[in-house]
Amino acid sequence: MNSLVLSVALVSAMLGAESVSRPNIVWIIVDDMSANFSCYGEKTIRTPHVDNLAAQGTRFAKAFVTAPVCSPCRSALVTGCYQTTIGAHNHRSGRGEIKINLPVQVVPAPVLFRKAGYYTCIGGFGASGKRLGKTDYNFEWPKEMYDSNDWAGRKPNQPFFMQVQLHGGKYRGQGPSKAWQNRVRQEFGANT
């Protein structure tokens, strides 16, 4: 809940600062990602592009998730609430006959950004043209939470909030080397 309060305060501050240029925000989430990046101190694996993003943006050095599987984690991150407080603690819950609706006081981050005048988008597309965005939340979410899959449709000079949720390293039955190579080729193309 503290994260939600902080988010509301941040958006309120942004609304009050109309004369200041508002930044575009790209929020990258990767399921089951380790911290094996140079910007986190990794010595063996070199990650210059991620390091460049980290140097220009905000890097979370003490962040952790509060659930062992991906969909409850996404639900917590997008709402700023513990999964147990909104009923989204079971993996892939809130589907089919059992719908989980958020309490009215819980507003997902993209909705807060829309209210602040941001164009909200999710995902984008990989080199193959395949949609990358994941909307696997454990609750019913408003479809107008995102304007689009990219920022192309925004008004001139309108800031955007893009949430990029990539698939992580869950490849059962494959060694990490083969899985990594296949994922890179599939998501980013052969010229990577």
pLDDT for the residue numbered 79? 93
What contacts 92, CB < 8 A, 6 or more positions away? 71, 136, 138
**What pLDDT does 16 receive?**
46
Identify the pLDDT of residue 159.
Answer: 97
Q: Higher model confidence: residue 113 or residue 28?
A: 113
pLDDT digits 0-9 by tens, 81-96: 999 999 888 887 766 7
- Tell me the whole-structure pTM to 2 decimals: 0.70
Phi, psi of 67 (to 5 degrees): -150, 150
- Residue 161: is its pLDDT beyond 90? yes
**Could you give the percent of the chain with pLDDT greater than 70?**
70
Q: Roughly how many angstroms between the first and final C-alpha of the chain, as a whole number?
A: 40
- Say if residue 64's pLDDT is above 50: yes
User: What phi-psi label fits residue 32: left (phi over 0), alpha (psi between -120 and 50 degrees) or beta?
Assistant: left
In one-letter notation, the amino acid at residue 190 is A
Give residue 6's pLDDT. 40
Residue 130: both structure tokens together: 């395949």
Per-chain mean pLDDT for the chain: 77
CATH number of this structure's domain 2-10+22-188, picked from the four choices 3.40.980.20, 3.40.720.10, 3.20.20.140, 3.40.50.410: 3.40.720.10
pLDDT score recorded for residue 82: 92
